[in-house]
Each structure stands twice: as C-alpha cells, then as structure tokens.
Amino acid sequence: MADIRYYWEDLAAGSRRDLGTVTLTAQEIKDFARQFDPQPFHLDEEAGRRSIFGGLCASGWHTCSLAMRLTVQNFLHESSSMGSPGLENLKWLKPVHPGDTLRLQHVILESRPLRTRLDVGLVRSRWEMSNQRGEPVMQMEGYGMFRRRHPATPEEMDRSEANGDKD
C-alpha cells in the first residue's frame, strides 16, 4: 500500500483527474466473457459481426471492471478510500472492440462531510471512459467514502445540515 496522498479534504467539487488508459485484445474480451458474460457477441467474431455491434465487443461489465482497475491503480491506492455505498447511474454508450484504447477521466461532482461519521467525507463522482477517437463508451456516477485528515467540527456539521445534506 502506497502512502496516502489524498484525503477527503483534497477532493474538491469540480476537480478532474486522468486515470490512465488500457487497450483490449480479442483474447481478453473472450476470457472475461467466458467467465462472467457468455453472450455470443462477446465470445465469437462471427456472432459479433451478425449482431447490432458489428463485431466482437467487450461486455459492459468488462468495461466497468477496467474502469475500476484504473481507478484503484491510479487513484485509490494513494487515497484514504473507505469504500463505496454504491452507484447512482451507469451507461454503456458505445461498443468496445478489440484494439480499442480506453481512457478514463474522474470528475468530482460534490463533496460533503458524512454526518454520522465525523472522520469521513462523502464524494459523488462521475467516471467518463472514451475510446482512442475520443468517443464516450461508458459513464457512471456514484459515491465514495474517504477518511478525513481532521474530523468535522460542530460548525461544519451545522453548515452541512443547513445546506440539507443527509447521509
């Protein structure tokens, strides 16, 4: 585990970070599909060509798992992450084909203290994944919990409650 560089206080609304790239091979697409999403267009080139996708394509769940790996490798390992209470929304916008290079961007939409845990802050984020042509292929929004450097003060909690924040 790396040293912690990012605490809740460092995760301001509006900030954006590049979380890197990954390139998929046909074999990786098939291997993931065999184990987790064995639909024909994820397993076989010919079935993919006959499908609405026009060729072998990655499972959306594969795309999500790649986004998670990039997030962990290039951000969460250096953060005070305490997990996530879940996603609000997930969209697969375009098929991902063998040879596509995917880039992941992370945008912080909001950040607020967690009322029930003074040592934790809640961050709502959007992950934007695009292919090598800059075309969006996936977007998801959700929450992360991060340890704080310093617990919230009573004044901060009062301001948060006045803004209507709730856990």
Cβ–Cβ < 8 Å for 109, 13: yes
What is 99-139 written as a DSSP string?
T-EEEEEEEEEEEEE-TT-TTEEEEEEEEEEE-TTS-EEEE
Give the amino acid at 64.
C
Cβ neighbours, 10 Å, residue 8:
27
- Tens-place pLDDT, residues 126-152: 999 999 999 999 999 999 999 999 998
Q: How far apart are CA 157 and CA 162, in angstroms?
A: 8
- At residue 153, the pLDDT reads 84
User: What does the mean pLDDT of the chain come to?
Assistant: 94
| Residue bearing tokens 């046909």 | 26
User: Considering the entire predicted model, what is its pTM?
Assistant: 0.91
- At residue 2, the pLDDT reads 58
Cβ–Cβ < 8 Å for 147, 119: yes
Give the amino acid at 22.
V
- Tens-place pLDDT, residues 57-85: 999 999 999 999 999 999 999 999 999 99
Cβ–Cβ < 8 Å for 94, 68: no
Give the amino acid at 104.
L
- Arithmetic mean of pLDDT, 16-42: 98
Q: How far apart are CA 149 and CA 127, in angstroms?
A: 25
Residue 68 has phi, psi (to 5 degrees) of: -65, -45
- At residue 92, the pLDDT reads 98
